[in-house]
Amino acid sequence: MNNQTRFSVLAAAKEKFVALRKKYGIKNKYTIADIAQKSGLLVLYLKNKPANFPGYLDWHPEPRFIAVNQDLPAHEQAWFIARQIAAWAQQQRYNSLTLNRPWKWEMLEAAPEKLKQKICELDIECRAHFLMLFFATGDEFRAFTRADPKRFWSNLLTDITVGYHLSRLRAKFWFSKLRRKIAVVAFPAS
């Protein structure tokens, strides 16, 4: 029986990154709540709410605050705030990884309602994941990924999925426009 521990590349890399982080004092400069406040959304914490009520975003044309259930775990609070910032950014039509071209925004506007809702939800998830990745504290992010690993890893193909649906819709509109032009040329109005 061999009692030697096996070498793990991931464990060695983690050890080196932790050592560098401690040596240079690398921490996130801002938390998710700070990012919300810097983008103009005040974060209010609600007390004595049921566990299944995460909170809400003020949905005026110019939202002013995000209300969050204080009784939720820290990673769920951060996730909720990230989702609300992402929804607000999408409402303001800021570009993201998935909606980053003018033609994509045009196709989103012209899409059928069901597809539009699906794409908007995927975009909000993608934006929120990146907010969690860059601005959640280490403990919040680890708890977030452990709580539902599928939710985290499913985000990897969001850009491809949204691009596929919007490109397909763009080709469909292009062919219908071409068909109309051919019909006008072939059968002119008398």
Position 190 scores a pLDDT of: 61
d(Cα 162, Cα 160) in Å, to the nearest integer? 6
Residues 6-27, mean pLDDT to the nearest whole number:
76
* Mean model confidence pLDDT for the chain: 87
The percentage of residues in the chain with a pLDDT greater than 70, rounded to a whole number, is 95
pLDDT band at 150 (very low <50, low <70, confident <90, very high): confident
**Dihedral through CA 130, CA 131, CA 133, CA 134, nearest 10?**
110
Position 163 scores a pLDDT of: 92
- Per residue in 127-149, pLDDT (tens digit) is 999 998 888 887 888 888 888 88
Position 112 scores a pLDDT of: 95
Residues 80-93, mean pLDDT to the nearest whole number:
92
d(Cα 144, Cα 152) in Å, to the nearest integer? 8
Best-predicted range by mean pLDDT among 50-64, 99-113, 152-166? Answer: 99-113
Q: Are 103 and 161 in contact (CB under 8 A)?
A: no
pLDDT beyond 70 at 111: yes
Q: Which amino acid is present at 187? A: F
Q: Are 82 and 57 in contact (CB under 8 A)?
A: no
pLDDT beyond 60 at 2: no
Q: CA 148: distance to chain centroid?
A: 15
- Strands 55-57, 65-69: pairing kind: antiparallel
d(Cα 3, Cα 10) in Å, to the nearest integer? 20
pLDDT band at 106 (very low <50, low <70, confident <90, very high): very high
pTM of the predicted protein model? 0.80
d(Cα 139, Cα 156) in Å, to the nearest integer? 22
pLDDT band at 4 (very low <50, low <70, confident <90, very high): low
The percentage of residues in the chain with a pLDDT greater than 90, rounded to a whole number, is 38
d(Cα 93, Cα 100) in Å, to the nearest integer? 10
Those residues with Cβ within 8 angstroms of residue 80's Cβ, 6 or more apart along the chain or in another chain: 54, 55, 66, 68, 69, 72
Question: What stretches of the chain adopt beta strand conformation (E)?
Answer: 42-46, 55-57, 65-69
pLDDT band at 174 (very low <50, low <70, confident <90, very high): very high
Joined together, the tokens standing for residue 190 give 């008398």
d(Cα 136, Cα 152) in Å, to the nearest integer? 14
